[in-house]
Structure 1
Amino acid sequence: MVQTRQNSSNDLPQEQFVVEEQYNGQPVHQYQYEEASHESERLLLDPSNFISLKGAGNLPTTSSFNYAQLLIHFKTFFTSVFLPQGYPYTVTSDYLAYQIWDTAQAFASSLTGALATAAVLKGVGVGSQSATVLAASITWLLKDGTGMMGRIVFAWAKGTRLDSECKKWRLIADGLNDIAFSIDLLAPHFSIALFAPCACLSSFFRSIVGVAGGATRTAIVRHQARRENLADVAAKDGSQETLVNVLSLLVSLVFLPIVDEKPVAVWTLFVLFTLAHLYCNYKAVKTLQLDTLNQARFQLCIRDFVNHGKVQSIVECNAVEPLWSSSYRCFGCELGKLPSESSTCHYYQQAKWVCVYDEMSQKGWIAWHVDAQKTDFFSAIFQLEYFGVAKSWPSLEDEDQFKNLLVAESWQLHSHQLNVDEWRYKVVQIQNSKSKNV
C-alpha cells in the first residue's frame, strides 16, 4: 500500500527519493519518485527518471545502448530458461557444481553415442547392397526387445537400492553406458551371425542405464529442490540436457564425416570421450552433499560419535562416503534367516524389533515387529551400528545425544534412506484352537 505524508501546508517543497526493485534478490530497476506536498496526492513515477541497474527488465530509456547491458540481459534470459525459478535460493548449495560436471559428462557421452550410432547403422547394413530390410528390422526388434526385458528385470532386482545408493548407481549406470557404446563399436567387426547378439547385449546394458540413470536423477533432483519445486528443477534439468544434446549434435555433424572409415581416429576419440565422461561423472557425484542418512553415511556418523563424541558435518561425511563398498546389513529380514546363536553373534531384543550382530563377519540383521514405526527403525539401526563400532550396546542417553548432534549438523531426521525391507513378525497365542493377536 502506498502511503502519503501529511503536510500542514500545500506550498512545502517536494521530496525526491529512489526506490529499488529486485528480482530473485538481485537489483533490477530503480525508480525515482516524487512525493507531493498535497495530502490528496500519492507517490508518482516520473518516467523520464527511470534508471535500470542490472539483471532482468527493459533496457534503460534514458541511456544509450551498450554491450554490458546486452550481456546482463542475456545472462538473465539464460538463467530464466535453464535454471529453476529463484535460483540460487530455491536449490541446494551443491546445485551449480553438480550441474556443471553433469553437463560436461552428458556432452562427452553424447559425442561417444554419435560414434556408436554410426557403427550400429553400419552393422545393420546401412550402405551395404547385400543387406536386406527384413534382416535389419529383425535385428533392431531383437535389440529393442532385449532392452525392454532388461528394464523390467533390473527395476525388480535393484529398484529399492537406487534411492539409498544413488551415487553408486549413478556411476555404475554411466560405466555400463560406456561399455554398451564399446560393444556397438566392436559389433560391426564381427560376423553377421554375431552382430545381433552383440546388439542385444548392448541394448541390455543400456536398459540398465536408462532405469538406474533416470531413478538416481530423480533422487538427486529431490535433494536439490528446496522450495517444493521438484517439478521445476526436473524440468530445467531436462532443458539443460536438451541444450547439451543440441550442441553435441552440431559437433558430431562436424567430426563424423572427418573420422568416417578411419578406425584409429574413431577409437582415439572414443577413448578420450569415455575417459572425460567417467571423470566428469565421478566429480559430479562427489560434489553432492546429501543431507539424509543412508547406511554408509549413518555408519560414518556412528564411528565419529563413538570415537570422538561428535558427528561429521554433511560436507565432511559426503566427502569421505565410500561409493563401492559397505558392510552387509539386512534391515527387515525374515526370522528364519537370522543367524543361529554362537559365540560371535550378539542379540538385542526390544518390543518392536530384534537385532543381531555377527562380530566375525561384521554382518547385521534386524527383524521388525508389525507395529514398528519410523522412530523404531532409527533406534534399532542405531543400536546395531553402535555395537558394530563399540562392541557394546548403547543406552537411551547415547541415542538422544546422537540425535541432538545430528540435528546440530543439519542432518535430516524426518526422512532417511536406510533401505528398510517389508518383512514383519507378530506374536500369536493359541487358545482353544483360535488365534489371538498380542
Structure 2
Amino acid sequence: MNLLDKLKMPKKEPDEVKAPKVEVPVYWLETSDSVTRRYEFEPHGYLSLKVVNNSRPICHRVVESFLNKFFPSGYPYSVNEGYLRYTQFRALQHLTSAALSVLSTQSLLFAAGLRPTPAQATAVSWILKDGMQHVGKLICSNLGARMDSEPKRWRILADVLYDLGTGLEVLSPLCPHLFLEVAGLGNFAKGMAVVAARATRLPIYSSFAKEGNLSDLFAKGEAISTLFNVVGMGVGIQLASTVCSSMQGKMIAGPLLSIVHVFSVVEEMRAAPVNTLNPQRTAMVVADFLKTGKVSSPADLRYREDLLFPGRLIEDAGNVKVGRALHKVVKPSKLQEWKEIFPEEKFVLSPGNKWTDMLLEHNATGEDALRGWLVAAYATSMQKSFNDPRASLLQDAYDKMNTVFTPFLCELQAKGWHTDRFLDGTGSRFAF
C-alpha cells in the first residue's frame, strides 16, 4: 500500500470514552447524633433500617425508645403546641382514675358482704359493668352535637361524672342495705362519662394533628393511657393494702385522688388548641380582631376559653347570641326586610337591648357565621360612637365588614382555623 492509498483511507477515530455506569446503591449509611444507621431497599421495595453503631449513653437510648413508643413519629415537629403538657396531665389523669377504680371496687365488694384481697378488685371490676351503665351511655349519646361544639367542657364533665360514680361506689359500705341502688347509680354516672369521654376524644386529638398524623396521635395516646392505667392500678392496690384498708383511709385518699384527677383533665383541656369555630371561639377571634387588627390562633385562645360557662356574652364582639328559635326573635316583616336588604347572606341579625341574636340558615358555614358576627360587632361599636338609626348602622357595619372580610378570612385560615363549618351545638337554624 503506497502513501497515497494510506492518505485516502478514513482515519480511525479514537475510541470514545464511555461513562461508567453509576450503580444506585441498595443501601447507605447515615450518621446523626453519634448514631450510625444503615438504610437498605428490600427486593419488594420497602425501606429497612438497622442501627449499626450507637455510641450514645444508655439513658439517651432509653429516652429515644420511650419517645418512639409513646409519642407520634417526628415529635415535636409533627404536633401542634401544647401536646406535651396535654400528655403529661393525661398520664396523671389515668393514673389517679385507675387508682380510684380499684378503691371503689374493693368497697363495693365489701358492701356486698365479701372480704376480697386488693388484687381481686381488678378482676371483679369487669363484672360491675351492668345494665345501669348502658342506660347512662344511651342517654349521653343523644348529646353528640353539643359535644362537637364544646368538646373541652364535656370532657371535663365526663371526668366529674366518673368521679361522682366512683365516689358513690367508695361510699357503698356505709349503706350495705342499699348496695344495688348505690352501685347502679354509680354505674349510671360512669356510663355517661364513658360516652362523653370517647365522643370528645377525636376533636381533641384533631387539634394536635399537624401533618395529617391523626392515627399516629391516637395510637400513641392510647399507649400512654394503657401504661399509666396499669401504673395507677398498682398504686390503687398498694393504697388498698395499706392506708385505704379501712373506710376512714378511703374517705381521705378518695377525695384527694379525685381532686388531682379533675385538675389533670382541666389542664389537659386548657392545653388543647381546638381549631373549630363555635360561638365562644368565634366571639373571641372577632373581639381580638376589632381591638388589635390581628387574628388570634387556636393556641392563643386556649387558655382564655371559659370551660365551665362557654355561653357568656362578649361585649367587644357585639354581645352576639346564636341559636335561638327564629319565631322568638324576628317578626315576619323584619325578616322579609332583612332578606331584601341582604339577599345573598345566610344569616339574620336581630339587635335587642341586651344582646344581638344571630340566626343561621341550615347550610351556613363558618364563613357565614364570621360575616354575621363581624357585622354585629361593628354595629355595636358604631352605636356607642354615633346616634344613627339602627337600620343605617347595620348597613354601614355590613359595608365595613365587606372591606375587611377577605384578608380576615385568609389570615384565619393561615392560623389553622377550620372555617368550613360552624359548630353551634343544638342551636336552631332556619330554611326558606
Deviations 1:261-283 (A, max 9, x none): 42222121112211211222222
Maintained 8 Å contact 1:115/1:256 = yes
Deviations 1:197-231 (A, max 9, x none): 22222112111211111111111111222222212
- Match in the other structure for 2:387: none
Within 5 Å, give how 1:56-95 maps onto structure 2. Answer: 58=51, 60=53, 69-95=57-83
- Match in the other structure for 1:46: none
Deviations 1:265-322 (A, max 9, x none): 2121112211211222222211222233321111012112233333334333222121
- Match in the other structure for 1:29: 36
Q: 1:148 aligns with which of 130, 134, 153?
A: 134
Q: 1:360 aligns with which of 331, 353, 363?
A: 353
Following TM superposition, by how much is the alpha carbon of 1:424 offset from its aligned partner in structure 2, in angstroms? 4.0
- Match in the other structure for 2:409: 403
Hey, what's the Cα distance between the residues in 1 that align with 2:417 and 2:245?
Answer: 55
Q: Greater helix share, 1 or 2?
A: 2
- Give the number of equivalent residue pairs: 364
The amino acid that maps onto 2:273 is: Q
- Match in the other structure for 1:206: 190
Following TM superposition, by how much is the alpha carbon of 1:420 offset from its aligned partner in structure 2, in angstroms? 7.7
The amino acid that maps onto 1:162 is: M
Matched, 1:113 2:101: yes
- Match in the other structure for 2:218: 234
Within 5 Å, give how 1:29-48 maps onto structure 2. Answer: 29=36
Hey, what's the Cα distance between the residues in 2 that align with 1:308 and 1:224?
Answer: 27
Deviations 1:43-86 (A, max 9, x none): xxxxxxxxxxxxx95363xxxx98x5322322222222212222
Matched, 1:287 2:271: yes
Does the C-alpha gap of structure 1 residues 266 and 379 become closer, same or farther in structure 2, counting only changes over 3 Å? same
Hey, what's the Cα distance between the residues in 1 that align with 2:376 and 2:300?
Answer: 23
**349-358 or 179-188, which moves further after superposition?**
349-358
The amino acid that maps onto 1:146 is: M
Matched, 1:256 2:240: yes
Within 5 Å, give how 1:313-352 maps onto structure 2. Answer: 313-325=297-309, 326-327=311-312, 335-340=326-331, 348-349=338-339, 350-351=342-343, 352=345
Matched, 1:379 2:371: yes
Identity of aligned residues (%): 24
Does the C-alpha gap of structure 1 residues 144 and 341 become closer, same or farther in structure 2, counting only changes over 3 Å? same
Hey, what's the Cα distance between the residues in 2 that align with 1:57 and 1:256?
Answer: 46
Following TM superposition, by how much is the alpha carbon of 1:371 offset from its aligned partner in structure 2, in angstroms? 6.2
- Match in the other structure for 1:304: 288
Maintained 8 Å contact 1:359/1:388 = no
Following TM superposition, by how much is the alpha carbon of 1:374 offset from its aligned partner in structure 2, in angstroms? 5.6
Hey, what's the Cα distance between the residues in 2 that align with 1:110 and 1:400?
Answer: 50
The amino acid that maps onto 2:250 is: V
Does the C-alpha gap of structure 1 residues 276 and 374 become closer, same or farther in structure 2, counting only changes over 3 Å? closer
Hey, what's the Cα distance between the residues in 1 that align with 2:34 and 2:377?
Answer: 50
The amino acid that maps onto 1:297 is: R
Following TM superposition, by how much is the alpha carbon of 1:367 offset from its aligned partner in structure 2, in angstroms? 4.0
Maintained 8 Å contact 1:331/1:420 = no
Task: Give TM-score, length-normalised by structure 2.
Answer: 0.73
Task: Give TM-score, length-normalised by structure 1.
Answer: 0.72
Following TM superposition, by how much is the alpha carbon of 1:20 offset from its aligned partner in structure 2, in angstroms? 3.9
Hey, what's the Cα distance between the residues in 2 that align with 1:264 and 1:389?
Answer: 59
Q: Greater strand share, 1 or 2?
A: 1
- Match in the other structure for 1:225: 209
Could you list the runs of 5+ residues in structure 1 that have no partner in the other structure? 1-6, 8-17, 32-55, 129-135, 427-438
Secondary structure, aligned partner of 2:35:
strand
Could you list the runs of 5+ residues in structure 2 that have no partner in the other structure? 1-16, 18-27, 39-48, 117-123, 314-319, 384-392
Following TM superposition, by how much is the alpha carbon of 1:124 offset from its aligned partner in structure 2, in angstroms? 3.0
Maintained 8 Å contact 2:147/2:425 = no
- Match in the other structure for 2:256: 272
- Match in the other structure for 2:162: 177
Q: Which has the higher contact order (CA 8 A, sep 6+)?
A: 2
